[in-house]
Every structure is written in C-alpha cells, then in structure tokens.
Amino acid sequence: MNQDEQIKALKETIQWFKKQIEPHDCGWMYTTIDGLNHRIKFLKKEIKKNRSKETWITGYNKHKKGYDKWKEDRCPHN
C-alpha cells in the first residue's frame, strides 16, 4: 500500500470513529483520532520529502505561468 492509499484509509477510519462518538465515555476515540491525524501529517511530510526536485520545479513553473497570465489580464499596466 503506497502512502497516498494509507492516507486515504486513515481518513476513512477517522470518519468511521467520528460517527461512533457518543456524549460520554469516548475520550479514547478522540485520542485515537488525534493519533491517526498525526500519522497522516507524518505521511504527508514523507511524501513531500521524497518528491523529486524536478517534480517541484515542474509544478512551480506550471502555476507561475497561470499567475503570470492572471496578472497580465488583471494588471495590463505591469
């Protein structure tokens, strides 16, 4: 299971726990949800760390072109 699939499964598990919460005696569920959210944050950091620089540059250039066009359309005097 890759990291994206793990994140998806953890999010689904969190949603399941949230539906099970009752007004009392469910503190452990909140603790579990917090632990699952912590794991998601860790996995997202790992994905970001493992992403190649070329991927980052490609994404940056793609968005920069869109921003440049938007700026040109909105601010013709620049």
**Tens digits of per-residue pLDDT, 4-46?**
999 999 999 999 999 999 999 999 999 999 999 999 999 999 8
* The pLDDT of residue 9: 98
Q: Could you give the CA distance from residue 14 to residue 26 in angstroms, rounded to a whole number?
A: 14
- What's the farthest any 2 CA atoms get from each other in the chain? 63
Banded pLDDT at 54 (limits 50, 70, 90):
low
* The pLDDT of residue 40: 97
For the entire predicted model, the pTM comes to: 0.64
Query: How far out from the chain centre does Cα 28 lie?
Result: 25
